[in-house]
Structure 1
Amino acid sequence: MLVDKIVQTKDFITFVDSAKDFCTFLETHQSDNYKTFISDIQKLLIKLYTFGQTLPDFDLPDRDVEETDITDKDIRDLLSFIADRLRDPFYWVVFDPTNHNDTSSVCGDLIDDLGDMYKDIKTFLKDFSDPDDDVKQNALWHLKWSFDNHWNDHCMNAIYAIHYLLKHVD
């Protein structure tokens, strides 16, 4: 699907708006209240996951394109903000609940989940704002790849963990 066609679809527009809302929420250090923070972030994650699933496959552009690099300092500042908002970021989950040969639980970390998602999504948003169509196409390809192979798991696990955190919030 061509870049100019996808950007006009309702699902893609909703995804981009959700991606911007997610990044802005974390960047502007919104919400000092624990319950409000985890509730708001869960709502944003649900939208990102829902509309991330609608992203079509893309081919890489014909020429090599360099991705934007989110600096370690930017990520450290963001992770610090997230850590300040969470009482206990750790949770337990079975890595692949469909693998009946390995039912061992692993420790998840909401700080890591949100930070990894932020980095992938923010990279997409920066690159997709470039006027060069090849840069946009590359950004779309990497977004779809990173959703399918990386941050969809972080997103789903975070939604699941927050579901239980909200049950126990005082």
Structure 2
Amino acid sequence: MEDFQHVGYSKEVIEFVAVAKEFCDFVETIPTMERKDVLQRLQKFIPLIYLKGSLLPACECEEEGLAEDTVTEEQYNYLFGELHRLFGEYDEYLEVFDESMQYSEAPVVHSISEKVCDIYQDLKNFITTFRCGIPEIIGEALWMLNNNFELYWGKACAEVLRAVHQAVYRLADDERKM
């Protein structure tokens, strides 16, 4: 019973897991969907994921090396290729907040597909680990998720939302012109 008092079973984590699972299921079905539908759903998912990620409780990692990554490079590359194909000319965008931009004379180009896959990878790794039900492993996975939110996938959410917003309305304009 005391295991359910663990921070990994807090209301915020449970709510995050529900949203993350729904997002990951969505990303896995993207190859069967229409571009417009995918972009419109991403426009709604990305802020929700960011919000739920920002509300996760802090967690100290007592033991390291218990949680394992479950998304393989092959899975990542497959999803990236499918998303890149689907988004086509709407996939790439200029990113002004990229740290490497200060050293670059050329614009820094990012990809909606890559950012969505980066977010997916961290979330899928967490929810897969969460399913094990072992508090020590969940604690490490939560610590990693929080750390990666600060350094990677939280930034990816913030960056890609602007690009998705632009793509949604560019696509709508392009459809009206047809």
Per the alignment, residue 111 of structure 1 pairs with 113
CA distance in 2 between partners of 1:109 and 1:62 (Å): 35
Percent identity between matched residues is 25
Q: Who is 1:22 aligned against?
A: 23
Paired position in structure 2 for 1:132: 134
SS of match in other structure, 1:91: strand
- Answering whether residue 109 of structure 2 is matched by residue 142 of structure 1, we say no
Matching residue of 1:48: 49
Q: Aligned residues, how many?
A: 165
Displacement after TM superposition at 1:159 (Å): 0.6
Amino acid at match of 2:155: D
Q: CA RMSD in A?
A: 2.4
Where does structure 1 differ by over 4 angstroms across 4 or more consecutive aligned residues?
Answer: 102-105
Deviation of 1:130 after TM superposition, in Å, equals 1.1
How far apart are residue 49 of structure 1 and its match? 0.5
**Gap change, CA 1:64 and 1:3, over 3 Å in 2:** farther
User: Which structure's residues are more often helix, by fraction?
Assistant: 2
Q: CA deviation at 1:82?
A: 1.2
- 1:109 alignment partner AA: S
More displaced 10-residue stretch of structure 1: 79-88 or 40-49: 79-88
Distance in 2, Cα, partners of 1:63 & 1:109: 32
Query: TM-score scaled by structure 2?
Result: 0.82
Structure 2 residue ranges without an equivalent (≥5)? none
- Between 1:75-84 and 1:24-33, the stretch displaced more is 24-33
- The separation in 2 between residues aligned to 1:76 and 1:93, in whole angstroms, is 22
Give the drift of 1:112: 1.1
The question of whether the paired residues in 1 share the 8 Å contact of 2:67 and 2:141 is answered with no
Corresponding residue for residue 38 of structure 2 = 37
Report whether the alignment pairs 1:154 with 2:148: no
Q: Which runs of 5+ in 1 are unaligned?
A: none
**Higher gyration radius (CA):** 2
* TM-score w.r.t. length of structure 1: 0.85
SS in 1 for 2:93: strand
Amino acid at match of 1:119: Q
